[in-house]
Amino acid sequence: MKPLKVGFIGAGANTRNTHLPQLKKIEGVVLSEVANRTVESSLAVARDFNIDRTRDHWREVATSPSVDAVVIGTWPNLHCEATCLALEHGKHVLTEARLARNAEEARQMLMVSRRYPGLITQVVPSPFTLHADATVKSILENGQLGRLNHFFFEFSSPPSTPQGAPLHWRRNRELSGLNTMVLGIAYESLLRWLGPADWVSASGAVLNNRALDPHTRQEVPVDIPDFLTVRLQMKNGVAGTFVLTETGNTGRPSRFCLQGEKGLLEIPFKVDGELQLGRSGAAGVTWAPCPIDDSLRGRWRVEEEFVGAIRRENPIEYTTFETGVEYMVFTEAVHRSFKMDGIPVSLADI
């Protein structure tokens, strides 16, 4: 088997905790090069994972003649530039999510990838419902819920950037772009079950609106919402609502709930979370566990799927750049509606 030499552009937490260990397990994969934000951190990653070589700049990895594929483990601000450069130099690309900072960057990445049909591209998927996606689709298709009437998604967490604290990259517009809390991650799961949205209407607030610049220690404004409600009209006619808050945990688990004429399905926003089926009666809703058959249970196989696609053993399912563009279009539509005080925005206009 010909060795597959993989270079790493950035080595954030997901790359160190997941991508590097999983790739290292695959026969024939060589961890070849790494460029992290500093020379010291590059050396540390190389030492921890026995990577052959460190580079002073990420561009050296993207253009290296010794690299067959790159893993981009940086913040979203670099995903577009690094992906395009790597593809132009003949590298397969696995990039961390979210795909990009906005729809324009995402479309550029997809356009460049299509110029090189022999190269594999993949964006790291939303992991929270991978185990249950096939089961949810089966329940919807076999009529257990009857006609689907509506859905909601609820998310809460402590703040990533409390008022006056150092600015977290997720609330840094330059680094994260239009990405907001888990908005795109949740929509990616929804795409797997219900397909795309037609239009959205969003309102919200920036409650923790001041932070410290981590470099200058000066106070700076924050404009990425930490409270958001979104009304969605799906192309299949089903309506739904997202409610997201990052101002404190509400004490309720983050979850989806699909409500049909015959019953409800609750899907925890949690890796390997247990599904619950609800039946309405005179005394209210009765909930019971909904087991996932082993034949339908999904699992995390991102790295093996990437390598398998390069070796022409399987296609990319989770997640393609086409899907990444879809959730970035949705994210941008929500952003525009929020900025226009809730005026509905069609995804076709993005």
Residue 27 is part of a domain; what is its CATH number? 3.40.50.720
Both 84 and 105 in one domain: the answer is yes
Q: How many domains does the chain have?
A: 2
Both 183 and 40 in one domain: the answer is no
**Does some domain include residue 331?**
no
Q: pLDDT tens for residues 268-299?
A: 999 999 999 999 887 788 999 999 999 999 99
**Does some domain include residue 43?**
yes
Both 172 and 219 in one domain: the answer is yes
**Does some domain include residue 338?**
no
Both 120 and 185 in one domain: the answer is no
**Does some domain include residue 326?**
no
**Does some domain include residue 218?**
yes
Q: Which residue has the higher pLDDT, 9 or 284?
A: 9
Both 231 and 260 in one domain: the answer is yes
Q: What mean pLDDT is predicted for residues 192-220?
A: 96
Confidence grade of residue 144 (pLDDT, cut at 50, 70, 90): very high
Question: Encoding tokens for residue 101?
Answer: 């900072």
pLDDT of the residue at 342? 98
pLDDT of the residue at 161? 86
Provide the edge-to-edge strand list for the sheet that holds 29-35. Answer: 53-54, 29-35, 4-9, 69-72, 92-95, 121-123
**Does some domain include residue 216?**
yes
**Does some domain include residue 349?**
no
Both 71 and 146 in one domain: the answer is no
Both 309 and 234 in one domain: the answer is no
Cα–Cα distance measured from residue 124 to residue 38, given in angstroms and rounded to the nearest whole number: 24
Q: What mean pLDDT is predicted for residues 166-192?
A: 97
Which single residue is written with the structure tokens 């790739």? 23
- The mean-pLDDT minimum among 108-122, 191-205, 245-259, 321-335 falls in 245-259
Both 87 and 155 in one domain: the answer is no
Considering the chain, what percentage of its residues have pLDDT values greater than 90?
94
Nearest to 100 by CA among 303, 338, 323, 345: 323
Confidence grade of residue 255 (pLDDT, cut at 50, 70, 90): very high
CA angle in degrees (0–180, nearest 5) for 338-339-343: 60
Both 308 and 293 in one domain: the answer is no
- The mean-pLDDT minimum among 227-231, 235-239, 247-251 falls in 247-251
Amino acid at 214: P
pLDDT of the residue at 281? 80
Range(s) of the domain holding residue 177: 133-298
Q: pLDDT tens for residues 298-340?
A: 999 999 999 999 999 999 999 999 999 999 999 999 999 999 9
Confidence grade of residue 85 (pLDDT, cut at 50, 70, 90): very high
CA distances from 346 to 87, 198, 333 (A): 32, 6, 7
Both 149 and 284 in one domain: the answer is yes
Question: Of 271, 298, 325, which residue is a domain's last?
Answer: 298
Considering the chain, what percentage of its residues have pLDDT values greater than 70?
100
Both 105 and 233 in one domain: the answer is no
DSSP-based three-state secondary structure for 23: helix
34 neighbors 7 (Cβ within 8 angstroms): yes
Both 143 and 292 in one domain: the answer is yes
**Does some domain include residue 305?**
yes
pLDDT of the residue at 284? 83
> Domain holding 234: CATH number?
3.30.360.10
Rg (the chain; Cα; Å): 21
Cα–Cα distance measured from residue 4 to residue 41, given in angstroms and rounded to the nearest whole number: 24
pLDDT at 203 over 90: yes
